[in-house]
Amino acid sequence: MARSKSSLTQVLLSWYSQNGRQLPWRKTKDPYAIWISEIMLQQTRAEVVIPYYERFLQAFPTVQALAQAPLDTVLRLWEGLGYYSRARNLHRAAKQIVRHGGTFPRDAKEWKELPGIGPYTAAALAAIVNGQDAIALDANLLRVGARLFGERGIVTSPVVRKRIERRFLELLPPGKAGTFNQALMDLGATVCLPRNPRCEACPLRRFCVAQATGQQEKIPVRARRRVRPHKQFIAAVLQDERGRLLLVRQADRGIWGGLWTLPYVEARSWREARPKLEAITGTRMKRTAGRSPYSITHTFTHFTATYTAIPAIPTTRVRHGRWVRPEQPNLAVPVPHRKLLQAFSRGGFGAIPHARTPSNP
């Protein structure tokens, strides 16, 4: 048994040395750069992260540069990557590191003390940066582990997670945690795919219980998914005489904390939304006659949302927010609101052929 375990590890590492992905953060030993990559990779695919990672490091090549940058600049570089709390936490953590003399954590426990670092990221950083024997059990590793070990319990349950982690720890070659974790990550990302795993190309197929028993598609076992709720938001598109639109800055928390958006609220109708929009902007407003609303739908991890933008006119002086050119706001704007600005700058909502008018705006 011990021999089969060690040969599994050897097979995996030798496959990785030939087939591992060439990713920019794997070419460095700089803890700062690796930390940035691990935060960007949370919930995000490597191909999406690469250009953001490169731009970010160009703008902030050191932890000191990041700590000194204004949050708005950090958020602008993060724009489009989503989960903006990651950027806010990175910024806070950079300040914390600089306050402590610019020294990076030495193990998983110390990594976890930084804002925005949970057990998975702490384990990944401890393994890759510090060479600590740890397993970074993300969705990829859980899937590979569940199939490899023929785990039939619900894969996200703490007991099953612990079991898979223990099995991987038994296989981990001491002192090579970084390579071992990255090999498993790559196997999960390129071979042991969530659907249609490529078992015929898998270096571990002779060790794999799911493959031997034809259970690849049934494992990992997941808890039944709850139906994703749907939310409706109404945004006011307030325009000044120079054609600029009003954006407001979101408070420094929540999914878009620190970003700029059209004034918007969760509501099902203009009548319900208007008083709240007036409170946000500090102005009275009325709908623009003859202009259509425009809706887009956006999918978040835990819900979907429809944003309906309604052209409106301020009838008193606007007290809060900033007027920007919709085609070039020069502020960090989250994707759904950027889409609304782009739609508007393409000719106003009335001119957009696919604009969807909600039944009860």
Closest CA to 308 of 346, 258, 254, 344: 344
Site for ligand SF4 in 85-144 (CB under 6 A): 144
Q: CA 359, CA 230: separation in Å to the nearest integer?
A: 16
**Do residues 181 and 192 touch, judged by C-beta distance below 8 A?**
no
Q: Is 273 in the site for ligand SF4 (CB under 6 A)?
A: no
- Cβ 150 to ligand SF4 shortest distance, Å: 10
What are the start-end ranges of the H helices in 230-347?
A: 270-281, 335-345
Separation of alpha carbons 66 and 90, rounded Å:
8
**How many residues of this chain bind ligand SF4 (CB under 6 A)?**
15
Active site residue 38: yes
Q: What angle do CA 257, 86, 141 make, to 5 degrees?
A: 145
Strands 260-261 and 304-314: unpaired
Q: Supply the minimum distance, in Å, between the C-beta of residue 147 and ligand SF4.
A: 4
Whose Cβ is closer to ligand SF4: residue 206's or residue 346's? 206
Integer Cα distance of 359 and 349 in angstroms: 16
When asked if residue 205 is in the footprint of ligand SF4 (CB under 6 A), the reply is yes
Q: Which of residues 133-152 bind ligand SF4 (CB under 6 A)?
A: 144, 147-148
Distance (Å, whole) CA 155 – CA 330 = 43
Region from 53-61, 198-206, 282-290, 303-311 binding ligand SF4, contact rule CB under 6 A: 198-206
Find the part of the chain contacting ligand SF4 (CB under 6 A) among 11-19, 49-57, 201-209, 238-246. 201-209
Smallest distance from ligand SF4 to CB 121, Å: 24
- At closest approach, how far in Å is the CB of 187 from ligand SF4? 7
Residue of 38, 151, 165, 278 marked active site? 38
CB atoms within 10 A of CB 25: 21
Tell me the per-residue interface mask from 216 to 235 with ligand SF4, x by CB under 6 A, - otherwise. Answer: x-------------------
Q: Is 191 in the site for ligand SF4 (CB under 6 A)?
A: yes
Position 355 contacts ligand SF4 (CB under 6 A): no
Span from 22-30, 162-170, 199-207, 325-333 in contact with ligand SF4 (CB under 6 A): 199-207
User: Environment class of residue 176 by beta-carbon count within 10 Å: exposed (0-12), middle (13-18) or buried (19+)?
Assistant: middle
The whole-angstrom separation of Cα 330 and Cα 279 is 25
Closer to ligand SF4 by Cβ: residue 5 or 253: 5
Place of tokens 């090999």: 183
Beta bridge partners of 245: 239, 324
- The radius of gyration of the chain from alpha carbons, rounded to an integer in Å, stands at 24
Stretch that binds ligand SF4, among 117-125, 191-199, 283-291, 320-328 (CB under 6 A): 191-199
* Residues with catalytic roles: 38
Residues at the interface with ligand SF4 (CB under 6 A): 144, 147-148, 191-192, 197-199, 202, 204-205, 208, 210-211, 216
